[in-house]
Amino acid sequence: MFRKCPRKYYFRYLQGLKVPASGPMVQSRAWHAAVERNYRQKVDTGIDLPLAEMEDYFVYRLEDALDKEEVNFAGEDDLASLRDQGLAIVAAHHKTIAPKVRPALIEHKFTISLGEDFPYELTGVWDVVEEDGTIADNKAYKKPPTQTKLDEDLQFTIYSLGYRVSLGKIEPGLRMDAVIKDTPPRAMQLTTSRTNADCRRLLGIIEEMVKDISSGNLPPNPKGWWCSPRFCGYWGSRCMEGYSRRSRKPDFLGEIIFRKCFYADDRYR
Ligand code: SF4
């Protein structure tokens, strides 16, 4: 989140402002929960759950979330389309990807120290670690990610660094288990790799981020797909109102007020 939009990070993690999840986010969470349920039992049984059981669990988790929380529906999203598309995603993953996966660790959290001179820890969660140590991430996309994007994805570098530091060895593989939301959805497995140099570069990026957070350098970044009413719950009076919608350039006065508020808050001094 920080790399996409530092101001969004500020709202969510420094101000603690939670905003309703979007429909696709809730759909994705319910699908993840169904995949997790299957893999957890597969560690012991070695067999995938029947598709019908996974579909039922997906619908239960989706409806439960919609009952209990406010959801930001936008555009063409509604419960029926999210459910139908989600069921097709569950089926595509169950048919093409799940049979090839030999899970050993599921939703496993790791925490590593970043050194004596740097008083922070890095925490992450591996979706799946297979019996041979391959780390896999499950994601549903609108369009397939390019290989370049996957090779530069910092999430995989974090997985790799976490594995190397906590287990003292190099992971045998990194893989994206992706479902593309076509009609019908397509499942694909994409691989990538990281070097120690990539992990060192990540440490440099983390150091820069910590400096930015400590100094209050948290500018809005409205130049990407994530900056829209559909994908950012802070859009509107909290954020974009202070910016020119046409040029999407920061409003000078809005920026001065933001900085005054940031430094007036003792937590960030
Ligand atoms: S509305 Fe745009 S600039 Fe503002 S926090 Fe969200 S993504 Fe960032």
What residue's CA is closest to ligand 1, atom 7? Answer: 227
Q: Quick check: is 8 in a domain?
A: no
- State residue 10 phi and psi, 5-degree precision: -60, -50
The answer to whether residues 47 and 102 touch, using CB atoms and an 8 Å cutoff, is no
**Residues 35 and 81 grouped into a single domain:** yes
Q: Give residue 6 CA to ligand 1 midpoint distance, Å.
A: 8
Given the DSSP bridges, would you call strands 71-72 and 21-22 parallel, antiparallel or unpaired?
parallel
Q: Give residue 266 CA to ligand 1 midpoint distance, Å.
A: 24
Atom of ligand 1 nearest to the CA of 226: 7
Tens-level pLDDT at each residue, the chain (269 residues): 888 899 999 999 888 888 888 888 899 999 999 999 999 999 999 999 999 999 999 999 999 998 998 887 776 678 888 999 999 999 999 999 999 999 999 999 999 988 777 788 999 999 999 999 999 999 999 899 999 999 999 999 999 999 999 999 999 999 999 999 988 899 999 999 999 999 999 999 999 998 998 888 888 888 888 888 777 888 877 787 655 555 555 555 566 556 555 555 554 44
Domain boundary among 100, 115, 150: 100
For residue 97, give the H/E element and its range. none
**Residues 77 and 88 grouped into a single domain:** yes
Given the DSSP bridges, would you call strands 135-141 and 174-180 parallel, antiparallel or unpaired?
parallel
β-bridge mates for residue 210, sequence order: none
Domain interval for residue 46: 15-100
**Residues 107 and 205 grouped into a single domain:** yes
The structure's pTM equals 0.84
Query: Can you give the CATH number for the domain in which 140 is found?
Result: 3.90.320.10
- Number of domains, the chain: 3
Alpha helices, DSSP H, located in the chain: 6-9, 23-45, 51-68, 79-92, 147-152, 154-167, 196-215, 252-264
**Residues 146 and 74 grouped into a single domain:** no
Q: Ligand 1: residues within 6 Å at CB?
A: 5, 7-8, 11, 220-222, 226-227, 232, 234-235, 239-240
**Residues 89 and 108 grouped into a single domain:** no
Domain boundary among 209, 237, 256: 209
Q: Give residue 226 CA to ligand 1 midpoint distance, Å.
A: 8
